[in-house]
Structure formats: C-alpha cells, structure tokens
A = this chain, B = another copy of it.
Amino acid sequence: MSIYFVNLTIMRVALGQFNAIVGDLAGNAEKMRRIWAEALQSNVDLLVFPELAVCGYPPEDLLHKKHFLQDNRLIVDKLAADCPDKTTIVGFAESYRRKSYNSAAVLQTGRINKIYRKGILVDYGVFDERRHFQPGTEPVVINIAGLDVAITICADIWDTDWLAGLLGNTTKIQMIINISASPFHLGKIEKRQEIISRCAKEFNCAVAYCNLVGGQDELVFDGRSIFADSAGKLIAKGRAFAEDILIADIIPTGGSLKRSLGMASVQVKPMPPPAPQPTDLLDEVYQALVLGTRDYAQKNGFKKVLLGLSGGIDSSVTAAIAVAALGPENVVGITMPSKFNSPETIADAEKVAKNLGIEFLTIPIEPILKQFDQALKEVPGWDSEGIAYENLQARIRGGILMSLSNQFGSLVLTTGNKSETAVGYATLYGDTAGGFAVIKDVPKTMVYKLAERINKISGRQIIPADVLNRPPTAELKPGQKDSDSLPDYDLLDKILKGYVEEDKSVQQLVESGLPQDVVLRVIRMVDRNEYKRRQSPPGVKITLKAFGKDRRLPITNRYSSFDDKM
C-alpha cells in the first residue's frame, strides 16, 4: 500500500510565542526581529507571532488614538522590510477605510502581502472587542511551500460552522493558523486544547496555534502554543508562562484527490525537545502568580517591592511569590505590630523573611495609633475600642507602606486573598493599599495549598508550620479570629464560587446543599462591598471570573433576589 503514499511537500513552521509589552511597539518589533533571525537558523518556511503582537494585548482605548493605529502600521511595514526572507505572520491593530480591525499581516519579500481581519469579536469576561474593532468578513488563504494555509485569529476557530462558511472550499486547506492572545485561568488550557483538536478534525488539517505570553495588569497570558495534526492530536506544546519558539514540520499525505475525498491527512513532526509543562493546577496557579507579579513590577519600571508581613498565611505566600518573581534581594518585608499582635506572629513574620532571605524591617505602630486615637477622641462619639479604631491600625500600616513606597520608589504588594476581597473583610486604604494585589483572585482555601506547595517546591519549611496551622486572625483586637466574623473558609469558598463565579441564585445555592442563613449573610457581604473592590489595586486573574474587568457590577445596586424569592 505504501506506493500510494505520496509525500508532496514539507513545511517548517515556527511559533514565536513571546512576551509583548502593551504600547511598546518598537520594543515588541525588536523582539520579533530577534526571533525571526533565530528562526531562520532552523530553516523555517513560516514564522507566526501572536494576536496583536505589535502593540500587546489588550491595548484598550489606546485604539481610540488615530496615531496609535498609524504607528502600528508603520511598525509592521518596517518589520516586513527587516524580515524579507520566508513568510512571517504578525498580529497588529489596523485602521482600514476609517474603521479599526484586529488584523494579521502576512509579510513576504519585504512587504505586507495580505491582511486577514478577525471575524469573531468577543465581548465577555475581560474582553471589549466590539468597543474597538469592526469584524472582518474576508478569508485569507496563502500558499506556503506548496501547502494551503488559512489564517484565523483567536475566537475565529471557536465557531467551526462560521469558519467553514468563511473559508468556502475547505478541502483545499492543509493548515489553519490561529494567532491568539488567550489569558490564563484555571481550566482554560483544557478548553483551548479541545477547541484546537475539534477544529483540526473538522477541517481535516493541521492547526498551528500561537499564543501570547506575559503579564498585563490583571491578565497573565500563558503561552503553551500548540501544533495539532489533522486527526486532532496535540503533537507539540510550547512552554507555559515563558517565551518559546515552537517548531514543527507539517507533512501532508495524499494528493488533492484524496483530500477532496477526505482521505488525506496532515502529519506534524515536532522539533525536540518538548517543553516541560505544569504538573497540576496548583503548579499552574503558582507560575501564573509569579509571572504576573514579575511582569507588573518590571513592565511598570519597579525593581523592588515591599509588603507588610504579619506572620499570617496570606502575606507569607505573597512574599514567597514575590521572591520567586523578583529575587530575594528585591523584596522587603515589614512588620508593623500594635499591642494586639502576639509575639508568636511577630516571630513568624521574621522567620518567613529569614527563610526567604529578604530584608526585614520592624516598625511598631503603637505610638502612632495612640496619637491618632488621641486626636480622634476630640470628636464626640469616637470609640477607642470600636471597629473604626481596629481598622485604624490597618490604615496606619497602609500609610507607612505607601510612605516607604513614595520614598524609595518600591511597589507595594497587597496581601488580601479572594475570599476576604469578596466579603470585604479588609480595610479600605488600609490593607488594600498598594500597587499590586498578588493573590486577590486566590481563595483562602487555595492559599493554604499554595503555601504547602511553596514549601514542597523549595524542599524546606519556608512558611513555618505554625503559620499553616494557626487559626486565621487579623489581630486588630484581643483574641480576634476570622471565624468570629466569617463562616468557615471551606464553606465560604464554596458559596463564593457559586455566587461570584457561577452567578447562581440563593435558591440554587441552597438547593445545592449550602445552608441558607450563611448563604444570605455571605451574599449580602459580597454585594455591599463592591465599592471597596472598585478601589483595590489590580492583581492576577487565575479563576474563571476574577474581581475586576471580569465582573462589572454597579456599586449602587439594590438587587437582592432573595428578598423576592425566599
């Protein structure tokens, strides 16, 4: 039978998965030039860069500036001239006939030969594409090394019916390129793989999927570019949360007759070695947090970060992530005890700092607290033992951290987790004060698991057992515990997942077995604390729905389905 096997041709494709910086058009182009030069060494026919690689993703309202779109075009023209050999595909923001498009330019022989314009624009979650772009309606199929290759952008391959309609005679196509800027969240890679595999099978062709990498404000793009063969098998995957050049040979088998009969196939042969992948979900989260923190700091020009170390689990984990992101020499931990902080927690804060090898400062706040209290006592009705007094401690700490940030140009990391962010168990302008909220999308129950993982990764007890085992406390009054104000974190996190991430109603939550009184209490807390979240710093999105651009709720909001229903 093998005499019928005709190996028509081979196309070598490189996916240049790189870390673009939003707005840094010249810098991104420079990176792409270097990748191009490197790819040429491997004798590739086609080099692919991610969606909006020229300007980074998402450029948001920069797209409203005409000169920004003009500059995008200038950069692509220059890139084409600088990279004349072989074919390069690069995403950029395009102004065409007075409208804006999310486009892919095909660079050949020193110029832009064709442009594909994204057809399926997305407006869910963190995306606002209709705000900025018009949808394209024309397919672009190019022939490279004898193969017919269709170009698509991100969501274009999600709706295979739409894509089949766009492409027309799909039996001609041997590969679909998908350039993407797909941010990470837990479960995303599985979803993505499923879509790519389905697309390959439906069009009976290889798929080359090139994703962006890097942190951008709330988002982390996780790379993991993919080659799939025409059977839908994922043949090769790029590095996770890091730059990579993923190269493979695309080998069609069977001629055009066989293709038209659906009997041909397209094989993919990757260049070794395969990139290591995250071991599990926790590993993914850890890597996302590290990259997100590193990129936010560095892309915004910060070398050093500082954070309050309380001896609790949240600040310990945040500090460990900061160290992994920026190195111990660039992290400063500060403990700011009042009379309510136990010697044990103060000692634990110091222990964590020592274990991580970071600079550690102690600034007692008791004298400042006293002075504040004395001033406020002049106002009739001030309660020197009330909640406002408790929170004053957090506000003094916030003031100290921000003063040090102001003095030394360091970025302040906040340490609040998703559970407390959700229910507002935080002091506005107190512990929420800072530039980047590392674990704001990590539920408390996962913070514990992360702590254990951090200890495991480093092969020693970086975060002391005491910190892991002590009942959580804000230490703002004597003997205080989180459990005085909040339900058990296991229960709380279950309710929050249902309410925040899945938009479930009280009725649905209760029917799923959660206790009604606690559900009602938690939901009220979540709803009433939207104003605090609105003023919180950005942090890494790791779940399906993070607080921020992902979940846009009014502050002024009287909706409470439970009043009507229960």
Contacts and interface: CB of A to CB of B under 8 A. Distances in A.
B558 A68 contact: no
A363 B379 contact: yes
A375 B365 contact: yes
A554 B60 contact: yes
Interface string A212-224: 0001110000000
Interface in A31-74: 55, 58-62, 64-68, 71, 74
20 contacts: A23-B557, A23-B559, A26-B563, A60-B554, A61-B551, A62-B554, A65-B505, A123-B123, A123-B130, A216-B554, A217-B555, A217-B556, A299-B556, A300-B555, A300-B556, A365-B375, A372-B403, A376-B404, A395-B398, A399-B429
A128 B552 contact: yes
Interface in A419-475: 428-429, 433, 435
Given A371-B367, A395-B403, A553 B387 contact: no
Interface of A: 21-27, 55, 58-62, 64-68, 71, 74, 123-124, 128, 130-131, 215-217, 295-296, 299-300, 361, 363-365, 367-368, 370-372, 374-376, 378-379, 381-383, 386-389, 391-392, 395-396, 398-400, 402-404, 406-408, 428-429, 433, 435, 503, 505, 507-508, 531, 534-538, 551-561, 563-565
Contacts of A554: 22-23, 58-60, 62, 216-217
A396 B558 CA distance: 33
Given A217-B555, A296-B556, A561 B372 contact: no
A67 B561 contact: yes
Nearest to A550: B61
A395 B368 CA distance: 13
Contacts of A400: 372, 375-376
Contacts of A403: 372, 376, 388-389, 391-392, 395
A563 B441 CA distance: 36
Contacts of A531: 300, 435, 537
Contacts of A407: 376, 379, 381-383, 386, 388
Most B CB contacts (10 A, CB to CB) among A387, A392, A406 go to A406
A58 to B, nearest CB: 7
Nearest to A409: B388
A383 B398 CA distance: 18
A375 B382 contact: no
A61 B530 CA distance: 12
A557 to B, nearest CB: 4
A367 B376 contact: no
B388 A399 contact: no
A406 B388 contact: yes
Q: Which 10 A-B pairs have the closest CB atoms?
A: A23-B559, A388-B406, A24-B558, A388-B407, A67-B505, A23-B558, A23-B557, A395-B399, A371-B371, A130-B130
